[in-house]
Structure 1
Amino acid sequence: MSEVCRRYPVSRRRLLQGTAAVTAAAALGRFGTTRAQECSKLTAWGVVSFTEEGDAKVAEQMQAWGEANGIEVEYSALPGSDYSTRLATAVEAGSVPDVVMMLQDLTLFYADQDRLVDLTDVYDGLKTLGGGMYEKLLPHVQSDGRVFSIPMQSDVSVMYARLDLIEEVTGAREAPATLDELETVATEINDPPGLFGIGLTVGRTPDAHGQIEQMIFAHGGTLVDEAGAPAIDNAGTIAALEQMKRWWDNQLIPQNSPSWDDAGNNTAYQSGQVAVAFNPASIFAYLEENDPELLADTTQAQFPAGPAGVFPAVGTWSWSIFSSSPCVDAAKQMITEIMQPEKLQELYEEVGGRWYPVYRDLAQAPFWQERPFFSEFPTIIDNARETWYPAEGTPELITQLSAVYQKLILPDMLQQVLINNVAPAEAAAAAQSQMEQAFAEAAG
């Protein structure tokens, strides 16, 4: 999907209609005289969703609340590719919006700078709705016991698998449950150059970072130790590199994978080039709209287990309020309104499943029940492991790990092994040194 900026300013007519619907006394009673005078307009930023309809739904819900309270709301859906940079620029310029969608662990980065409003009261009012929020999302938005952002979706990465191809070689329409099973099945399916068994992303991309991280965890490795120091040079990392090297040498991975961007694995699966790929639910949304035949032969399953177990990656996108906002009370009310379970479910359906619920009971909604492809998502979320395991996810550590992510140290490590034939142990040692340098630079 091409990324474009979408702005949804409320029209004057709609604003006047909404203002007329609420008396001035009611507005003042909710926010107080000073707050109402200060807050005539709320601005909000988010990241573009998979569909224009989803972006429009976010704006519609925010603006409906604004109309009911006599406050103009402007929502901008911005490209994800440079969202973090654009937000940082706005922060430095002092022109940050009131409400901001935070990606993954950005919340902790800005909370550490004392730039965000404590939203613990909002979270406490929401956390038990809809069967309760998934507890696994909390570490991404909580610091020192306080919640600084409200999770609005569960960001789940899964394995996509071609059930028809698997059935041809195993007799069963079931995704491989372990990495060893995956390797065996992929070897039997493999028929290069037209069809490859495993669509592993090898390029210098965020997708590759996430997939390598899951491979390391599955083999018992970690990125840091209990104290939060770099510790990627371990037996689990080396074992993961050895297995991926074997896949590469046996031509189970497309030979153009090192040149893939973050859309490369999507394209490879959607075009029938690979039997398995790892990605968030955007592949499902594409297939549902464009290729129902391939969708019928596709399953979404959790990342296969390694010798150490299953440790899928889960994050969240969430709503924060910057402390510079003159509209803190109003912004809290708006977030509370759009975070009601029924409103979130409306949004999820417009996005086509790309955003998964944060409330447990929403998984029972007809939209999800009619799509068995999502049946394993609750289990995937509950089994998730944070990037900073086994350390405590402090803002400083998360900032340091973000630097490793931005520098693409993990994809570089894998490319050294696959393309340059560097020994896995040597590549892990080099990545250790690079991580130590990145941590030192991030710490200042």
Structure 2
Amino acid sequence: MSRKKLSRRQFVAATAMSSAALITAPYVRSANAAGKLNIGFWDHWVPGANKASTELVNEWAAKEKVEVSIDYIPSQGNKNILTIAAEAQAKSGHDILAMPTWWPHAQADLLEPMNDVVEALIKQNGEVNGTVKYLGKSGDKWLAVPACIGSQIKGPCSRIDLMKQHANIDVQAMYPAGAPPKADAWTTDAFLKAAEACHKGGVPFGIGLGETSDSVDTVGAFFLAFGAEVVDIKGNVVVKNDNVRQVLEFYKKLMAFLPSDAPAWDDGSNNRWLVSGKGALIMNPPSAWAVAKRDAPQIAEQCWTHGFPVGPKGRFAPFLPYFWSVWNFGKNKPAAKSLLMHLSQPAAVEKLVAASGGYDLPAFEKLTTLKTWAEESPPKGTLYHYPNPHKHQILSISAAGAPPKVAQQIYTQATLTKMCVRYFRGESMEKTLAWAQGELEGFMRS
């Protein structure tokens, strides 16, 4: 998932020494002391972002007289996922643990209900989008609190100059800073024509078709844009439908204009593609732009983050939310809930967003117009449309629509990208669909 020189992978390397550090807030002994609290946060890709969360936790701890310890757990090598699994098995560990996307549902039976926290935050900060509900809620139970830290949209980041030169598209006019989009003509057909034009101009779109998160997220948004459902909400395998056939035809055309090695790309490939100056567009959160800002400022000055093209069934953008979960076997649930309320206050969220350079996205609708996104540069306003302030597109996750535990397998196994690659490489449509049906039925059995 994709999350993360300043590339997401290099962020981890640059902060490896601090990632494993145990950070302890001052413990103020008092008759009102509320015990201890152990926290497992995601180890941020952006240098300095962990410092902001530590300061907010320490601020709360000093006020509430709680002794806190924080572990920053990297996602490199799936260490965060391994930690979740180990603590679930041992029924012991952190009181608060950050969980990405699918994992609250995967651990639903072991999580403390968070309705009191989330419902209060929604009342204060506004509603959350459908993807947050899909991933963070089971029936009437909120499994976890939507986290600002780590949540991201993987939308298009275009080169202003190259899109104008080769595709005759002015992305700044289409998505003007400080104003609603003027993007009715930004359709999947227009996207395909632009990809062809940039390919002919020697600056192809850098869209991966591998098995890691960035590739899976992009193809998932296009599947939704075509209404291409492979498993429905009841768990029925419905992959053999016309909408799936239509999106596979679209991707077959698109792949002809992408780098030839796109099926082998990982989550760092598109970042490098943009920073190298080889491409006119990638799908990514602002980490790639941040790399260019540091290492290739002449490229960063030409980058503009904007919305997805609209398809026959709507305009969808990949959204990967993070959550803060509290184990039901945790030792200090009241303190955990109090801290999560503190971290979700508007002032705290604004600090976290600023510390991440606009990378982190709060889930609540009233917190999508913070000044960081309007003021980040160069060029000024380059991130204005990143948080979807005008609700111009539906925030989604690949395979959404299927029951979450099935969708997680579709996502993890990169079933949708594999379908596109198989069909592009010459397999017949019906063979591709038959292969996918077999895979999906296997997921249902497991």
> What's the TM-score once normalised by structure 1's chain length?
0.85
Q: How does 1:4-19 map to 2 (within 5 A)?
A: 4=16, 6-11=19-24, 15-16=26-27, 19=28
Tell me what 2:245 maps to. 238
Query: Secondary structure at the residue paired with 1:374?
Result: coil
Asked whether the 8 Å contact 1:217–1:236 carries over to 2, the reply is no
Cα deviation for residue 309 of structure 1 reads 2.3
1:329-348 deviation line (CA, Å, top 9, x unaligned): 11111111111111111011
Query: Which of 398, 407, 419 is 1:401 aligned to?
Result: 407
Q: Is the 8 A contact 1:63 1:74 kept in 2?
A: no
Question: What is the aligned counterpart of 1:433 among 438, 441, 444?
Answer: 438
Classify 1:215/1:169 alpha carbon distance in 2 versus 1 (closer, same or farther; 3 Å). Answer: same
1:221 to partner: Cα distance: 0.9
Q: CA RMSD in A?
A: 2.4
Structure 2 runs not aligned, ≥5 long: 1-8, 175-184
Cα pair distance change 1:219/1:125, threshold 3 Å? closer
- Indicate the SS of the match to 1:50: coil
Please name the residue that 1:62 is paired with.
57
- Is it true that 1:145 corresponds to 2:140 in the alignment? yes
The answer as to whether partners of 1:345 and 1:357 remain within 8 angstroms in 2 is no
Query: Does 1:312 find its partner at 2:317?
Result: yes
Secondary structure at the counterpart of residue 49 of structure 1: coil
The residue number in structure 2 matching 1:281 is: 286
* Counterpart mapping for 1:148-297 below 5 A: 148-153=143-148, 154-174=151-171, 177-191=186-200, 195-249=202-256, 252-297=257-302
Once the two structures are superposed, residues 153-206 of structure 1 have per-residue CA deviations (whole angstroms, 9 ceiling, x without a partner) of 2421201112211211354422671121122122222247xx342222112222
- Assess, with a 3 A threshold, how the Cα gap between structure 1 residues 212 and 105 changes in structure 2: closer, same or farther: same
Once the two structures are superposed, the pairs formed by residues 75-114 of structure 1 within 5 Å of their partners are: 75-81=70-76, 82=78, 83-111=80-108, 113=109
1:144 deviation in Å? Answer: 1.7
Contact 1:7 1:75 in 2 (8 A): no
Deviation at 1:136, TM superposition (A): 4.9
Q: 1:60 to 1:381 in 2, by over 3 A?
A: farther
Shift of 1:350: 0.9
Q: Contact 2:135 / 2:404 at 8 angstroms: preserved in 1?
A: no
**Aligned counterpart in structure 2 of residue 378 of structure 1, from 361, 371, 389:** 389
Structure 1 residues 380 and 364, CA, compared in 2 at 3 Å: closer, same or farther?
Answer: closer
State the shift of 1:138 in Å: 2.5
Q: Is the 8 A contact 1:98 1:322 kept in 2?
A: yes
- For 1:359 and 1:381, the matched residues in 2 are separated by 16
Q: Is the 8 A contact 2:49 2:355 kept in 1?
A: yes
Q: Are 1:133 and 1:359, in contact at CA under 8 Å, matched by a contact in 2?
A: yes
| Closer/same/farther in 2, CA of residues 300 and 63 from structure 1, 3 Å limit | same
- Are the aligned partners of 1:202 and 1:415 in contact in 2 as well (CA < 8 Å)? yes
Greater alpha carbon shift after TM alignment, 377-386 vs 134-143: 377-386
Which residue among 420, 423, 433 is the counterpart of 1:414? 420
Quote the offset at 1:389 in angstroms: 4.9
Whether contact under 8 Å (2:308, 2:393) holds in the other structure is: no
1:330 & 1:132 partners in 2: Cα distance?
Answer: 25
Note closer, same or farther for the CA distance 1:386–1:267 as it changes in structure 2 (3 Å cut).
closer
Q: Partners in 1 of 2:336 and 2:254 — Cα distance?
A: 50
Whichever residue aligns with residue 301 of structure 2, its letter is: A
Please state whether the residue corresponding to 2:410 is helix, strand or coil.
Answer: helix
CA-to-aligned-CA distance 1:13-33 (integer Å, 9 cap, x gap): x524xx15xx41x43xxxxxx
- Cα distance, 1:379 vs structure 2: 4.1
Letter in 2 for 1:182: F
The amino acid across from 1:69 in the alignment is E
Moved more, 357-366 or 45-54: 357-366
Aligned equivalents of 1:6 and 1:381: distance in 2?
36
Distance (Å, rounded) in 2 between the aligned partners of 1:122 and 1:282 = 30
The alignment's TM-score, normalised by the length of structure 2, stands at 0.85
Q: Is the Cα contact below 8 Å between 1:141 and 1:148 reproduced in 2?
A: yes
CA distance in 2, matches of 1:106, 1:342: 28
Q: Distance in 2 between matches of 1:235 and 1:255?
A: 27
Conserved in 2, the CA contact under 8 Å of 1:214 and 1:312?
A: yes
Count of residues in Structure 1 that have an aligned counterpart in Structure 2: 411
* Contact 1:287–1:294 (Cα < 8 Å) also in 2: yes
Determine if contact 1:157/1:278 at 8 Å carries over to the other structure: yes
Q: Distance in 1 between matches of 2:363 and 2:400?
A: 22
Partner amino acid, structure 2, of 1:292? P
Assess if the C-alpha contact under 8 Å between 1:234 and 1:428 holds in 2: no
Unaligned runs of 5+ in 1: 28-35, 392-396
Bigger radius of gyration among the two? 1
1:353 equivalent in structure 2: 358
What is the distance in 1 between the residues matched to 2:240 and 2:194? Answer: 30
Shift of 1:415: 2.3
Query: Residues 158 and 281 of structure 2 are in contact (CA less than 8 Å); yes or no, is this contact kept in structure 1?
Result: yes
Which deviates the most, 273-282 or 283-292?
283-292
> 1:166 corresponds to which letter in structure 2?
M
CA distance in 2, matches of 1:207, 1:233: 25
Q: Aligned residues: percent identity?
A: 21
User: Secondary structure of 2:61's partner?
Assistant: helix
Q: Which has the higher helix share?
A: 1
